[in-house]
Structure 1
Amino acid sequence: MTNDEIKDLILEIIEDIDDEADFDNLNPDEPLRDQLDLDSMDFLDIVMELRKRHQLQIPEEDYPQLATLNSCVNYLEPLLKNA
């Protein structure tokens, strides 16, 4: 997957979780939870959806690396490079 495809995947998952999510003013370097009003359950839903769609096992200690859209892409890129 390309970086743009990974961004689209993350945004698609967030939209599935919160169909009222507003991506218009999304800053890719700011925490997603703050910008989109995601709670801890929403965040876990994102992780579970990545597991379901792409068989990714993301260790809990790596969750902080998924804080922003750009950090998600940086973290997931090597894991999804052959997807």
Structure 2
Amino acid sequence: MIPADAPTARDEAARALVRAGLARIAPGPDLDALEDTADLRDALELDSLDFLAFVEQLSRTTGVRIEEDDYPRLRTVASAAAFLTAAGVP
């Protein structure tokens, strides 16, 4: 039996989109070791312009309009993936 909290294919696809967006603005080995629950800004040392570039990349890639009020929902890979899934992506 599959655990209720097991990631679905849709969750995994959303995580892949988030990681691909991060790779465009913060490439490197740190991304490989990044845990799904790690704070992106702290773990990858993103400044506000880097984070904005990530948000714009994610929006462009997915077609989801991301408002400034949504930024806290993009704090981790897991929360950003949940945001995308809730928005109907992928």
Consecutive unaligned residues of structure 1, counting only runs of 5 or more, are: none
- 1:32-77 residue CA offsets vs partner (Å, 9 max, x unmatched): 1111111111111111112212221111011011101111111111
Higher relative contact order (CA 8 A, sep 6+): 1
Structure showing greater Rg:
2
Could you list the structure 1 runs, at least 4 aligned residues long, displaced by more than 6 angstroms after superposition. Answer: none
Partner residue of 1:60 out of 55, 62, 68: 68
Are 1:39 and 2:47 counterparts? yes
- Once structures 1 and 2 are overlaid, which stretch shifts more, 64-73 or 17-26? 17-26
Percent sequence identity over aligned pairs: 32
Q: 1:21 Cα deviation (Å)?
A: 5.0
Paired positions, count: 82
Do the aligned residues in 2 keep the contact of 1:31 with 1:68 (CA within 8 Å)?
yes
Consecutive unaligned residues of structure 2, counting only runs of 5 or more, are: 1-8
TM, length-normalised to structure 2:
0.78
Distance 2:42 2:29 in 1: 12
Q: 1:8 Cα deviation (Å)?
A: 1.0
Where does residue 29 of structure 1 map in the other structure? 37
